Amino acid sequence: MKKFGVIVKQSLEQVLQDAVNILLKNMTDSSSVHVKLSRPKMKEHGDYACNVAMPLAGMLNMNPRQVADKLLTMTAWPDAVEETTIAGPGFINIRLQKSCEAEVLKKILTEAASYGQLPVDNNAEKVCLEFVSANPTGPMHVGHGRGAVVGDALGRVLSARGFKVHREYYINDAGTQIGVLANSVWLRMCELQGQTIQLPDSAYPGDYIIDIAKELLKIHDFETVQSWSEEQRLAWLNQESIAANMRMIADDLDIMNIHFDEYFSEKKLHESGKVQSLIQRLREQGTVYLGTLPAPKGKAIENYQPVEQWLFRTTDFGDDVDRPLAKKDGTATYFAADIAYHENKFQRGFDRMIDIWGADHGGYVSRVRAAMKALTQKDDQPDVLLVQMVNLTRDGQAVKMSKRAGTFVTLREVVDEVGSDAVRFNFMTRRIESQFDFDLEEAKEKSNENPVYSVQYAHARIASILRKAKEEGIVLLPVKDVDVSPLVSAEEQALIANMLAYGDMLTVAADRLEAYRVATYVMKLAADFHSFYHKNRVVTEDEALTQARLLLASAVKQVIFNALTLLGVSAPEQM
RNA sequence: GCGCCUGUAGCUCAGUAGGAUAGAGCAACGGAUUUCUAAUCCGUAGGCCACUGGUUCGAAUCCAGUCAGGCGCACCA
């Protein structure tokens, strides 16, 4: 009975489900209705509400209120239920005994950092989570940052809910862009040597290229590099420039505490022969044919010429048009490598693939899924999360240029200015489908304008209360001995109900791959605590009340900590 | 022209797979500062949930169409 509060919701759903099943037993067809309880918005509607009578009414051809009435007579309610009523069109409202749910506080403090987590067992679903994958040709921009933050938080949420998560970064270290990078670095090396250079439009203009050139000159002096054959020089420049950029990217991610289990190289995929053998296999299968694509609709392409290419029949699997696997010079397209890459993930034994891409890759989703359907017969892989664009502003004015990158504002510049916590939390306050207007001045604001401070402040405030209580010589009772029955006010009940729902929220977040729910959840919990704090004192003359409220405050602190940890945001003890 | 995403308070956004009276922050206005942290709280005001039709007991939510904005549309990545 003591622990009943924690599992009360499931028990109520079970007894109601039993009643529903009996009611439906006489039906000829084997229809079923799933009982689900919800928290009503209004306090007058009780602690839990159930709408099951409404769908049942249609099936049984009865009035919903009559159905509800019948269900209530058939239900064996546990002791914790104080009152049930039928309201509105046929809702069943359930009111529990006060403080019967407060036992959850003890569960929270006992489980501490693992409250809300599910264990990872041997049968856990293995997920390959690919995110960031920014090209190794320059610093990450703010849009990459959003993908990084979203991906990392999603990884943490999935891990917490019992998935085995493998975090992966796909390095696009093959293709023409890399040649451009190598050439840009070489030009800067010549420039450092005193030569006058002309940067072509195609070259990367950013100052970071100069830094790389300087770095490379420390490895080999200019004369040595110049003495090599062009082929040898390009290969060396390629390799070192990519490595330098990847170090820079990994550094920037490290500042935000984002790490990967694996960096997967596209170049090595090509070198392994897997791309060519895949194309060969598909040709034998007949899913690849030699053909010519029509000119694309929309904006006219100046130098369009019909080319005969190896085409993948993605249209057979739900794509709009067949997609080329080889360029006119015969080398594999990015798409070809990407299919081989995804097939490789599948071969590595992952049950599920999740890719986080920028919105500008939206047109790519259907073709990759089509290819995977052709190769694996699964039609729901990979799960692609498209993260919409970030518009960077300062005091409402668009910010676009960065000296360092030459084109866009880098993630690093933003993190250095506003801090990792503010960047991470802010990016998590919106659904990924909505475009994000990120204002640098707002992100530095230390007020309610900036949600991260409100949440961190709640955590620090509780820490301060606990310190104060200790200073005053209050000795905390062992958790199991605290009497929670004094926690009956509306504010206290709201906090308890919120914390009780933490696990359900995480389930939804993991099922729907919506990690932002953690942020909206913890914002509400923090706000509710601030509200409670202003109406009630934690440390009072009443010893029993003080003990109960210290328990409550400690639990709130713990849940805020757990949620912030999932978001990769720090939970300070003082501010 | 086609595909994907979006449209909710003046602004920025939530809305827990269709539920009861639509939610928060900011901005506006009015309050709380002998405090366990005011980086906070309380109150007032503010809505044709883009528009039109449909589905049903019931729609911001589902469907169709329209309008508006963003992203993308051979041989780049």
Closest CA to A266 of A331, A180, A322: A331
Round to a whole number and report the distance in Å from the CA of A511 to the C1' of B59: 25
Residue nearest the C1' of B26 (CA based)? A449
Round to a whole number and report the distance in Å from the CA of A433 to the C1' of B67: 21
Please, are residues A448 and A454 in contact by the beta-carbon 8 Å criterion? yes
pLDDT in tens, A10-25: 888 888 888 888 887 7
pLDDT in tens, A525-566: 999 999 999 999 999 999 999 999 999 999 999 999 999 999
Of residues A551 and A296, more confidently modeled = A551
Which pLDDT band holds residue A306 (cuts at 50, 70, 90)?
A: confident
Round to a whole number and report the distance in Å from the CA of A456 to the C1' of B46: 30
Please, which positions of strand B sit below 7 A from a protein CB?
A: 1-7, 12-17, 19-27, 32, 36-42, 56-58, 69-77
In whole angstroms, give the CA distance from residue A479 to residue A110.
Answer: 8
Cβ-Cβ contacts under 8 Å for A262 (sequence gap 6 or more): A166, A167, A168, A169
Of residues A317 and A270, more confidently modeled = A270
A463: nt with nearest C1' to CA: B37
A45: nt with nearest C1' to CA: B20
Residue nearest the C1' of B23 (CA based)? A41
Q: What is the ipTM of this complex?
A: 0.95
Whether residue A394 has pLDDT greater than 80: yes
Closest CA to A518 of A530, A506, A529, A527: A506
In whole angstroms, give the CA distance from residue A573 to residue A458.
Answer: 10
Round to a whole number and report the distance in Å from the CA of A285 to the C1' of B18: 46
Whether residue A253 has pLDDT greater than 60: yes
Sheet holding A48-50, edge to edge: A37-38, A48-50, A91-96, A81-87
Round to a whole number and report the distance in Å from the CA of A41 to the C1' of B22: 11
A534: nt with nearest C1' to CA: B41
Round to a whole number and report the distance in Å from the CA of A285 to the C1' of B1: 34
Round to a whole number and report the distance in Å from the CA of A224 to the C1' of B8: 65
Round to a whole number and report the distance in Å from the CA of A300 to the C1' of B73: 11
In whole angstroms, give the CA distance from residue A346 to residue A46.
Answer: 48
A532: nt with nearest C1' to CA: B41
Residue A4 has a pLDDT of 46
Residue A147 has φ and ψ, to the nearest 5°, of: -60, -40
pLDDT in tens, A491-526: 999 999 999 999 999 999 999 999 999 999 999 999
A39: nt with nearest C1' to CA: B16
A46: nt with nearest C1' to CA: B20
Round to a whole number and report the distance in Å from the CA of A359 to the C1' of B68: 20
Beta bridge pairs of residue A84: A94
* Start-end of H helices in A176-265: 176-192, 207-219, 222-227, 230-255
A471: nt with nearest C1' to CA: B36
Round to a whole number and report the distance in Å from the CA of A564 to the C1' of B35: 27
A294: nt with nearest C1' to CA: B74
Mean pLDDT (whole number) for A69-85: 88
In whole angstroms, give the CA distance from residue A504 to residue A149.
Answer: 22
